[in-house]
Amino acid sequence: MRRAIITAAAACAVVTTTALALPAAAAPSQAREPGKASEYVVLYKDGASLDQARAAVKAAGGTIVRENTDVGVATVTSSNARFAALAGRQGALDGAASNRVIGKAPKTPGAPAGKGVEAEAGTQGPVQVKKPGRGEEPLAGVQWDMKQINATARGSYRVEPGDRRVLVGVMDTGVDGDHPDIKPNFNQKLSRNFTVDIPADANGEPVDGPCEDEPDKSCNDPNNVDENEHGTHVASTIASPRNGLGMAGVAPNVSLVNLRVGQDSGYFFLQPTVDGLTYAAKNGVDVVNMSYYIDPWLFNCATNPADSPADQAEQRVIIEATQRALDFAHKRGVALVAAAGNEQIDYTKTNQDSSSPDFASEPGEAPYERTVPASCISMPSEGENVIPVSSTGISTRKAFYSSHGNGYVAVAAPGGDKVDTPDGKPDDRRGIWAAYPESIARERGELNPDGTPNTARVLRDCKGGTCAYYQSIQGTSMASPHAAGVVALIVSKYGKKDRATGGLTLDARVSEQILRRTANAKACPSPNTVEYVWYRLEDGKWVKYTSTQTCEGSKSRNGFFGDGIIDALSAVRR
């Protein structure tokens, strides 16, 4: 499920079901340096008054920085190394979870770690773009994904292209609101940034990098910036407009709201997620896309004996606080769409987790090997009322990297599968193409001096002197926004006027029902156990990789495709 973002690495950096080479146990936790403050998310107990909860935080040695009274969650700083344990003993609190590091300088100044960025896959020959047909955007020829779900000029665009009053919240690393193929649909007024860049973790390892290296010399980024790439790609898939430039999204007429909850480096922490969800609920957002899991735990286990009591308590807080925010949003009409994950595993089975905790909030913290039963849950994708989306490739097979599970996956959508090829060798043409911030392309050296791309995974289109860039990546991160876009079309078609905001609204349960019922059922492969085979280029040689995955369930509902592959046209033509 990404490192911190759910973007599957291409065939040269694949997550497999084989355990990673990490220590069998966590490194011994070291005491935090006296006087150094850390940040926590504190959960107020249901029924406790605000005065009682605030007094309890103070008694445990904490200072409240920010409160979310809608769901009873507070951001707290404390220099007391025992704060989390003391908070757990307070009658008015349900516990505390580490949130992030404050003021730690990186050991080695420089660029952020870049975790979650997809590795280049290489391509089999140059990318040739077919001449667009009538009513199509210039790069429609590479958008096999839109054809797969009938989001095309002859399909859903003709029946329902979306309504500008419908708001889609992109909960991600940010959105490049000035990208020429996003700007027409970007609602900067409602967009918010709920994060602060983190220079380094508690071990001094770079995370987002030094604040002075930021373009604005600040760790507080504007609400129309994406210094990662991920959120911009997601937003483009949802709602790039039909403006004669580049390509169009699933719902080309709806409005995009940047709800930045992820770090530049691709980490996603609890408090921004809670704040983003409650903001969406209170500001008329109709659907949110969540292509990530909440760090530092891939799976949150309430009582796993592999975890220390303190870690168990932290994971319980993440589960409860996230669910409170999800419930708050869902009850107020926000449809909750999430990526299913890229670990190639069945979420309904017992699995091995070697990646958690993936962020050091205390010195000495490191990932360790643990067995996680199905009762352990990944948030937000396994939260109640969330729509988890698995990924398909160009052939409509389940993508090799996509996690799955009968009863877990709701629907499937195109997310790209660059090794869905006859020979199993990667091809960028089989990824998902969407908007790419020019600043990042330049920073990575992917553009020639004249502005033309020098890599096959990047395309450029120009109109009237304005040029825009697009890139091919893959992951359930890319599948989820296709589903979010179809939900936006559903609200556009069947929603009623929202008296509170002046926009449109539709019960989130109804949106999900229509999305599921209009999906095209797809049976498990036969035989239902599949050996995926692919190759990656290492030191000039092609190296073979395999993964064996089993699909359970019926044609109408199964672990690979849920209720089926989404269909934008069917969803608005009932």
Q: Domain of 531: which CATH number? A: 3.40.50.200
Per-residue tokens: 253: 């007429």
Task: Provide the H-helix boundaries in 15-69.
Answer: 50-59
Q: Are 316 and 384 in contact (CB under 8 A)?
A: no
| pLDDT, averaged in runs of 10, over the chain (574 residues) | 43 31 31 65 96 97 96 95 94 90 49 39 74 94 98 98 98 98 98 92 87 82 94 98 98 98 94 97 98 96 95 96 98 98 97 94 91 98 98 98 98 97 94 97 96 95 96 97 98 95 95 98 98 93 96 97 98 90
DSSP secondary structure, 191-241, as one string: -EE-----SB-TTS-BSS--GGGSTTSSSS--TT-BSSSHHHHHHHHHH--
Residue written as token pair 């059922």: 521
Looking at the domain assignment, is residue 258 inside a domain? yes
Q: Are 491 and 272 in contact (CB under 8 A)?
A: no
Looking at the domain assignment, is residue 341 inside a domain? yes
The total of other beta-carbon atoms located within 10 Å of residue 177's CB is 21
- Which residues, other chains included, contact 340 with Cβ-Cβ below 8 Å and sequence gap of 6+? 347, 381, 388, 389, 390, 391, 402, 403, 404, 408, 409, 476, 479, 480
Per-residue tokens: 307: 């975890």
- What distances in angstroms separate CA 202 from CA 29, 66, 168, 362, one per listed residue? 11, 22, 35, 5
Q: Determine the pLDDT at residue 203.
A: 86
* Domain span holding position 532: 140-572
Strands (E), 27-87: 38-44, 63-68, 73-78
Q: Determine the pLDDT at residue 215.
A: 74
Number of domains comprising the chain: 1
Q: Are 4 and 273 in contact (CB under 8 A)?
A: no
**φ/ψ (deg, to 5) at 285:** -70, 135
Looking at the domain assignment, is residue 59 inside a domain? no
Strands of 73-78's sheet in order across: 63-68, 73-78, 38-44, 93-101
Q: Determine the pLDDT at residue 121.
A: 53
Q: C-alpha dihedral over 328, 331, 335, 337, to 10 degrees?
A: 40
Looking at the domain assignment, is residue 89 inside a domain? no
Looking at the domain assignment, is residue 325 inside a domain? yes
Give the span between the Cα atoms of 402 and 342, in whole angstroms. 5
Q: Are 409 and 399 in contact (CB under 8 A)?
A: no
Looking at the domain assignment, is residue 340 inside a domain? yes
Q: Are 482 and 471 in contact (CB under 8 A)?
A: no
Give the span between the Cα atoms of 300 and 319, in whole angstroms. 7
Residue written as token pair 């190639």: 344
Distance of CA 398 to the CA centre of its chain: 19
Looking at the domain assignment, is residue 436 inside a domain? yes
Looking at the domain assignment, is residue 295 inside a domain? yes
Give the span between the Cα atoms of 96 and 86, in whole angstroms. 9
- Which residues, other chains included, contact 463 with Cβ-Cβ below 8 Å and sequence gap of 6+? 138, 244, 245
Q: Determine the pLDDT at residue 112.
A: 40
Q: Determine the pLDDT at residue 137.
A: 98
